Amino acid sequence: MSTAIDGGVRAAFRAIADVLIPAAEGMPAASEVDVHGPVLDRIIGLRPDLAERFFRGIGAIAGLPPETAAVQLNAADPQALAAIGLVASAAYYMQPRVRELIGYPGQEKRPGNPDETPEYVANGMLQQVLDRGPIFKPTPKA
């Protein structure tokens, strides 16, 4: 089994990635954001544990039409399909265009203001909890 990301692997991955992540619902297909490009190398480099299943799956679907490939791989080797799907979806949701479309800025800083009175204090919501009184069982007297 080859573990090099050559042109054939990229082409096969691109084709099945478009079945898993097609252009639909206002979102681009996987290939439109180049999941088969340099990001593929980056992900396999980051997650070498996925490589064996990824390349096994890609090898198994050689020559098959992409839709047939996905269905057959899901039946014969779902672990391989899961690895290909994870690589494809991880690559897809790392792309700025995709993130913008789903409204995801990434894990960014959003500091709060520690001096601000919390809304739930100001509007009395928390007072309702306090008004119900203690709910713990105290330590029994010895």
Partner 1 sequence: MSGKTGGARRDEPVDVLIVGAGPSGAVAARYLAAAGLSVVALEQGHWPDAADFPGRKREFELAAQKRWHPNPNVRDLPRDYPVETSASDINPLMYAAVGGSTTLYAGHWTPFLPSDFRVKTLDGIADDWPFTYEDLLPSLEEIEREVGVSGLPGNPAYPPQRAFPTPPLPIGKAGRKAVEGLDKLGWHWWPGTNAMPSVPYNGLNPCVRRGTCMTGCPEGAKSTVNITFWPHAIRSGARLITGARVREIEVNDQGLATGAVYIDENGRERRQRAAVVIVCANGIGTPRLLLLSKSKRFPDGLANRSGMVGKRLMMHPFSAVLGVFEDELDGWMGPFGQLVESFEFYETDASRGFMRGAKWGAMPGGGPLGVTSFVGSQIFSAGEGGMVEDVWGENLHKLVARRFNHCLVYGIIGEDLPEESNQVVLDPELTDSDGVPAPKLLYKVSQNSHDMLRFHVARCTEAVEAAGAIETVVVHQVRDTGWHLLGSCRMGEDAATSVVDQWGRSHDVPNLYIFDGSTFPTSGGVNPTATIMSVALRQVRRLIAQRHLQEAA
- Residues in contact with partner 1 by the rule CB under 8 A: 19-22, 24-27, 42-43, 46-47, 49, 70-71, 74, 78, 81, 85-86, 89-90, 93-94, 102-112, 114-115, 118-121, 125-126, 128-130, 132-140
Shortest separation between residue 8's beta carbon and partner 1, angstroms: 22
CB 36 within 8 A of CB 13: yes
CA dihedral 7, 12, 17, 23 (to 10 degrees): 90
CB 5 within 8 A of CB 44: yes
Residue whose CB is less far from partner 1, 7 or 142: 142
Residue whose CB is less far from partner 1, 7 or 25: 25
Residue whose CB is less far from partner 1, 7 or 23: 23
Question: What SS3 state is found at 120?
Answer: helix
Residue whose CB is less far from partner 1, 9 or 88: 88
Shortest separation between residue 77's beta carbon and partner 1, angstroms: 12
Shortest separation between residue 64's beta carbon and partner 1, angstroms: 13
Best CA proximity match to 16, nearest among 110, 112, 98, 91: 91
What tokens does 97 get?
């265009």
Shortest separation between residue 135's beta carbon and partner 1, angstroms: 6
CA dihedral 34, 39, 40, 44 (to 10 degrees): -170
DSSP 56: H
